[in-house]
Amino acid sequence: MGVGIKATKKTNFKKTNNKKNIFDSIPAELIIDIVARVAASSSRDLFKAKLSCETLHKFADDKYIIQRASLDKFPVVPWTLNDHKQAIFSDRCADSENPEALCRRGIVRYFEKMEMNSGIECLLKAAKSGHLEAMYVLGLIMILHGEETKEQGMKIIIDMKNLQTKRKNIQKIRESFSTTLGSIWVKNTMVVGQAMPTCCTRQDHAKSIGLNKLADLECAACSCDQEIVHLWEILPKSI
C-alpha cells in the first residue's frame, strides 16, 4: 500500500517599506525637459521642485535647466538677504549663458559699472540666442556710440519694428529695459549728461517725434529717434 505524502510549501512573505520612486520609470531627458519648463515659467517653482525630492534636487542643477530659468520676479540689484541669495542664482544663470541673466548683466555692466566692453559682450551673447531685449539695448548702444556703429544700431531697431511679431513686443521690451535702468545707478558718462543723439536729419520731422512718441512713424530714422527719446526720459540728467 502506497503511502501518500503531501508536501507542504511554506512561503515567506516579507513586508517591505520600500516605495518605488515614480521618477525611476521616466527617462532622465524627459525629467530635465519638464523641470526646464517649470524653471522657464518660474524660478521659485524650480526651487520648490528642487526641495520636493532627491531626484528633482539632482536634476535641478542641470545646465540646460539653468539656461532657461526665468528671472522675472528677481530684483536686478540685491537689497535684502533674500535678494542676495537670488543674486547668487542670477550670477550662476549668467555664467551658464542664460539669455535673460546675460542681458541683465550686460545692462548693469554697461550703464552702471562702466565696464562697457564686458557689458556689450554679455548683450551680444544674449542677442545671438534670440533675446529681444538684448537686441533692443544693443541697437540703442550702437546708436549712442555713433560713427561706424550708428547705422548698424538703427538697422537693429528698424528691423525689430518692421517685423510684426517683434513690433508687438517693442513696448513690453521698452518697459522692461526702463525698469532695469530704474533699479540701478546709471553712471556711464557716455550717456549721462550728454546731448541726445538723433537719427533723422529732417527738420520737419523733429517735432513729430516729441509729440507722437508711441506712434509707428513711416520714417525709419524717426522710429529710432522715438526709442532714443524714451531712453533719455529715464536717464539721469547728471551724475
CB 180 within 8 A of CB 76: yes
Mean pLDDT computed over every residue of the chain: 82
pLDDT score, position 84 = 78
pLDDT score, position 227 = 92
- Sequence-separated (6 or more) residues with CB below 8 Å from residue 72: 42, 100
pLDDT score, position 211 = 46
**Degrees, nearest 5: CA angle 76-81-85:** 60
The closest of 122, 106, 120 to 153, measured between CA atoms, is: 120
pLDDT score, position 209 = 53
What would the pLDDT profile of 206-225 be if each residue is shown by its tens digit? 655 554 554 556 788 988 99
pLDDT score, position 19 = 57
What would the pLDDT profile of 58-114 be if each residue is shown by its tens digit? 777 888 999 999 998 888 877 776 677 888 889 999 999 999 999 999 999 999 999
Q: How many CB atoms lie within 10 A of CB 36?
A: 20
**Degrees, nearest 5: CA angle 184-114-82:** 35
Once rounded to an integer, what is the mean pLDDT over residues 223-228? 91
- State how far the Cα of 224 lies from the Cα of 229, in Å rounded to an integer: 9
pLDDT band with cut points at 50, 70 and 90 for residue 132? very high
- Sequence-separated (6 or more) residues with CB below 8 Å from residue 148: none
pLDDT score, position 212 = 53
